[in-house]
Each structure stands twice: as structure tokens, then as C-alpha cells.
Amino acid sequence: MILIHNANQVVTVASFGGKFKRGREQGEIFVIERGSVLIRDGKIEWVGRAIDFNFGLYSEVEIIDATGKVVLPGFVDSHTHLVFAGTRENEFDLRIKGFTYQQIAEMGGGILSTVKRTREEPKESLLETAHNYAKIALSYGTTTIEIKSGYGLNLDDEVKILEVANELNGNPIFTIPTFLGAHAIPPEFKGRKDDYVKFLIDKVIPEISKRKLARFCDIFCEDGYFTPDDAEKILNVGRRFGLLPKIHAEQFSNYGGVKVGVKVGAISIDHLENISDEDIQLLSKADSVAVLLPGVSFFLDYQYPPARKLIDSGVPVAIATDFNPGSCMSLNVQLMMTIACTQMKMTIEEVITAVTLNSAGAVGISDIAGSIEVGKRADVLIFNVADYRMIPYFFGINHIDAVFVRGKRVGIKASA
Ligand code: NIG
Ligand code: FE
């Protein structure tokens, strides 16, 4: 048994059984001043005020003194493309000089350039690179990470990526694999998008499902990529094969992704930089989590999604990194929190819910993660600050003092 004892603040983000928080509740994070957390068999056994902890009830308690520090639930990074080969700093360079993300894609860069390199990469080295990235994520406080495929775009390479995502699970953090075969149209299907959609539906989705490689099915619904009709087809087939729907919607244009996402009952609808007021109304009545990706707008110098309007309309909002070599080369959730505060005007409390409970909701694990509540998995962070507001306040600085994954303290040294 481990007792994280006498923290200046234990931020529980308690949801009392709720899968996520929406509206005003998104800002309610339930802070215990001078609090303690007892961990037993990898789960939260007890949480409360330090003075109320009854040492007499438990023997052999290892005490971790958290005096003056802040304790939070482990971060859930609910949207990443973590398994890929190579880097694209050349595109970063071009964007600084004035080219847009879409122009660069048309010039032969973009998703397809990473597809080429990922196809060429043997599985072992892909796993090694991904493992390093997972350790970086952990070093900033991520204890569960969603990972999308989508840089293979054929059966063998999509399988390879998803196998890597699965093999990473628990080493050192939990991974949740998502099939994103509909990320772009691969070169061998150029000009034949409908054939590619048919190939995904007839061959790839059934195989991914048979091999139990993914939990979710996602699609990049965007002009030049996949239409709302494609999304409806693919996500419905995915669901029939046991993969719950997710969607990349309204990133570069208002293209109809939200409407389809709501129609197919997506667990999350992600991006939303170009969401309309009508779509916000639709989302506010649905049970999909809106996963916003402030790092992408920051890195591409692009407009931010209207987080304030979404929250005020009652849409549950999560924040994730979207870690990928094109539009967000960062795994630092703490930095995303700051950007969400300053650029999207989310309150610090709303942001904390967004990277814990609501992100857990976006990947279907809020019954076991996302808050510090009795019975949940003991994924717990200790921060070297005395007030939770200091986490986004000191930006770009890593405040992590210790990370517990399923109750085990894990090393947090990582190299880039
Ligand atoms: O989520 N939107 C599409 N996919 C990624 C970018 C992928 C890439 O550029 O390699 C995203 O932003
Ligand atoms: Fe993405």
C-alpha cells in the first residue's frame, strides 16, 4: 500500500459515476486541501483529508510525503498519431516562410510523406521510436494515450502500426488503439477514392476487427480527403465490426463532420476549428465529447476552436495534443493546458477536467480512469507546485515530481 500524504491540494476531478462533465460542471474539480490518497493493488483505496486518514486501519503503508505539492489524476491524451516514422521539420520551415498546411500537402509533403516513410520502416524500429515518444508523454504526466493508425493506408502497414500501438500498452503507459485507415487516399488509389473506401470496408475493417487490434474507428472528414457520406459509411461499418466511431471534423472547413458524427453516435468529435453555431447546438444535445487540439492551431498558426461557446452551450470538452509529425510535434499536455487557457479562454478548472475526466470519456475509460475516486485505477500525478493554477501558469516548464501508473511509481526520465 502506498499513501501519498498531506498534499497541499488533491485535485480529484470526482465525477460520481459520470462519464464526463458538461456546462458549468466542467469547472467543478473538487479540491481537497491538505489531502491524502491511499493506493492498494493498483487502485485508489481511499482519498480524503490527511488528518482523517486512520493509520490504525492499515499496516505496512509506504508513505510518500507530498507536503507542499499538488496531486492530480494522470492525464489522458485522447487524440494522438503516435506511431510514425521520420519527422517533417522541412514543412515547419516552409510554413514559417508562408506556405499553408494544405499547400505543403499538395506539394508532396503532408500525411502522404509520412505514409511513405512509415511503410518503409520495419516494425521493430517503429516500436522503438513509439516507445520513446510514449516515455516523453509520460514525463509530462500522460498515463493513458490514444493512438491512431493512418500512416499505413494498406492492410499490412495499418496492421503493423496497430500492433505497435497494442504492444506499447502498459509499457510504461496505457495505450488505446484507433483505426484511422481513412486518414488520406494512398498513392495507389489516387483518383479512385471510392475504391479505397470500398477496400477499407470490405477488407481492412473486418481484418482489424478479427485481430482485435483497435477499439475505435476514426476518419479524416475534410475537403480533399473523405466526405461526410464516406464517414457515415465507414463509421457504420466500423461499428458493426465492434469499433466505436470517432471523427476528425471541421478542421479546415465546415464540411459536415459534426452532423455525421452525431448521427452515427460518435464517442468523440475532434478538432472543430470551423464548427458552426448550428453544429454547436447539435453537439450540445448529443453525448459525444468534443476533443479540442490547441497545439494544432498554435503550431499551424490557425484559428482556435470556439471552446468558450462549446462549454457555455453544454458541450463536454476534452483537450488533447494530436501529437503527429505534421500539425503538432508536442506531447506536452501541460503546455496544451496553457494554450487552452490563454487562446481559448477556458478556465484553469475547465482545462483540468478536459485533460483528465473528459479525455477519459472521449476514449471510453471514465469508469476506470480520469479522476481520483475510490475503485479507479491509481494513475496519479504529483506536481512540484503548491497550487494547481501554477501548472498552466508556468508554461512550457515541466512540473512533474512523480507519476504513478496503476499504483506503481514509474521513472520519468525521457529523451527526445
Ligand atoms: O490530426 N488532420 C489530419 N491528421 C493530422 C495531421 C497528420 C499529418 O499532418 O501527418 C491531424 O492534424
Ligand atoms: Fe488528428
As to burial, measured by CB atoms within 10 angstroms (0-12 exposed, 13-18 middle, 19+ buried), residue 379 is buried
| pLDDT of 416 over the 60 cut | no
**What distance in Å separates the CA atoms of residue 240 and residue 259, rounded to the nearest whole number?**
20
Rounded to a whole number of angstroms, the distance between the first and last alpha carbons of the chain is: 33
Rounded to the nearest angstrom, the distance between the alpha carbon of 14 and the centre of ligand 2 is 28
Per-residue pLDDT of 131-152, as tens digits, reads 999 999 999 999 999 999 999 9
In the predicted model, what is the mean pLDDT of residues 365-384? 98
In this structure, the strands spanning 408-410 and 2-11 are unpaired
Mark whether 67 and 81 lie in a shared domain.
Answer: no
What grid cell was written down for 343? Answer: 487562446
Per-residue pLDDT of 321-362, as tens digits, reads 999 999 999 999 999 999 999 999 999 999 999 999 999 999
In this structure, the strands spanning 380-383 and 70-73 are antiparallel
Q: Give the least confident one: 21-25, 57-61, 197-201, 348-352.
A: 57-61
Mark whether 212 and 331 lie in a shared domain.
Answer: yes
Measuring from atom 3 of ligand 1, which residue has the nearest CA? 220
Q: Could you tell me the CA-to-CA distances from 22 to 89, 178, 189, 355 in Å, in that order?
A: 37, 24, 41, 14
User: What is the percent of the chain with per-residue pLDDT over 90, rounded to a whole number?
Assistant: 97
Q: If you count them, how many residues does the chain have?
A: 416
Measuring from atom 1 of ligand 1, which residue has the nearest CA? 322
Query: Which residues are CB-neighbours of 368 under 8 A, at least 6 positions away?
Result: 376, 377
Mark whether 150 and 21 lie in a shared domain.
Answer: no
Residue-level pLDDT at 283: 98
In the predicted model, what is the mean pLDDT of residues 370-385? 98
Describe the chain by its helix, strand, coil percentages, rounded to 5.
Answer: 40, 25, 40
Mark whether 304 and 340 lie in a shared domain.
Answer: yes
Which amino acid, 94? L
Per-residue pLDDT of 101-114, as tens digits, reads 889 999 989 999 99
Contact 7, 33 (CB under 8 A): no
Mark whether 157 and 305 lie in a shared domain.
Answer: yes
Residue-level pLDDT at 210: 98
Mark whether 152 and 295 lie in a shared domain.
Answer: yes
Per-residue pLDDT of 260-296, as tens digits, reads 999 999 999 999 999 999 999 999 999 999 999 999 9
208 lies in some domain: yes
Which amino acid, 125? S
| pLDDT of 229 over the 60 cut | yes
Q: Which of 378, 400, 409, 350 is nearest to 36 (CA)?
A: 378
31 lies in some domain: yes
pLDDT band at 198 (very low <50, low <70, confident <90, very high): very high
| pLDDT of 318 over the 80 cut | yes
| pLDDT of 414 over the 90 cut | no
133 lies in some domain: yes
In the predicted model, what is the mean pLDDT of residues 191-220? 98
Mark whether 176 and 229 lie in a shared domain.
Answer: yes
415 lies in some domain: no
CATH code of residue 44:
2.30.40.10
Q: What average pLDDT does the chain have?
A: 97
Mark whether 37 and 162 lie in a shared domain.
Answer: no
Count CB atoms within 10 A of the CB of residue 119. Answer: 17
User: Quick one: which H or E segment has residue 206?
Assistant: helix 205-210
Three-state SS for 407? coil
270 lies in some domain: yes
CA of 151, nearest ligand number:
1
In the predicted model, what is the mean pLDDT of residues 373-381? 98
| Ligand 1 pocket test, candidate residues 111, 115, 219, 252, most atoms within 8 A of CB | 111
CATH code of residue 227:
3.20.20.140
Of ligand 1's listed atoms, the one at least distance from the Cα of 110 is 9
pLDDT band at 164 (very low <50, low <70, confident <90, very high): very high
Question: What is the count of structural domains for the chain?
Answer: 2
Query: Which residues are CB-neighbours of 126 under 8 A, at least 6 positions away?
Result: 83, 84, 85, 118, 160, 161, 164
416 lies in some domain: no
User: What is the percent of the chain with per-residue pLDDT over 70, rounded to a whole number?
Assistant: 99
* DSSP states along 111-136: HHHHHHHHHHS-HHHHHHHHHHHHHH
Which of the listed residues 323, 338, 362 is the one where a domain comes to its end? 362
Strand partners for 72: 381
Per the structure, the complete domain to which residue 258 belongs is given by: 76-362
Strands (E), 250-327: 268-271, 289-292, 317-319
158 lies in some domain: yes
| Ligand 1 pocket test, candidate residues 77, 80, 81, most atoms within 8 A of CB | 81
Mark whether 318 and 395 lie in a shared domain.
Answer: no
Mark whether 137 and 66 lie in a shared domain.
Answer: no
- CA neighbours closer than 13 Å in the CB half-sphere of residue 357: 27
Mark whether 49 and 127 lie in a shared domain.
Answer: no
Q: Which of 353, 293, 302, 354 is nearest to 329 (CA)?
A: 293
Which of the listed residues 362, 380, 399 is the one where a domain comes to its end? 362
Residue-level pLDDT at 415: 57
| pLDDT of 46 over the 60 cut | yes
43 lies in some domain: yes
Mark whether 192 and 211 lie in a shared domain.
Answer: yes
